[in-house]
Amino acid sequence: MKTLLLLFFVPFLCFAQNTISGEVVSVTDGDTFKLLTKDSTIVKVRLANIDCPERKQPFSQKAKQFTSDAIFGKYITIEELKRDRYGRSIANVFYGDSLNLSHELVRNGLAWHYVKYSNEPILQELEDKAKNDKIGLWQDAASIAPSEWRKRKRK
């Protein structure tokens, strides 16, 4: 019986996400910030599934300001999906009345859906709508995704 229960629950444990709560103490850019947990640990968080403009790109400051207005100094919850090679927590971030920060940035034309790392159809729908409505960075038909911008800068 124990073996049967174990076989049933183990697959669910593999997909468990680490939930972390704390206060946002700094916002680095539109998709990166620092969270201070109850046990005084600082967690560097990178928003999952999106990419905000780089510092020297148009709308970078607006994306950072949006993120700051939404979460800075506030107590929030993140769902950590994994850690990246820089040790950052890659996470879904929820604030306010269960708003998903990644979704809100894309909806407001302040981030790209990071298709390379995401399989969230809602993000593509939100990006397509922002693009069609020429919201935020989509006002410029020639806007360049941050991943492409970084690639060009390296050359």
DSSP 76-120: EEEEEEEE-TTSPEEEEEEETTTEEHHHHHHHTTSSEE-GGG---
Q: Which of 46, 104, 107, 120 is catalytic?
A: 46
Catalytic one among 88, 104, 120, 127?
A: 88
Q: Any catalytic annotation for residue 80?
A: no
The active-site residue out of 23, 54, 79, 125 is 54
Burial class (CB in 10 A: 0-12, 13-18, 19+), 107: buried
Q: Which residues are catalytic?
A: 46, 54, 88
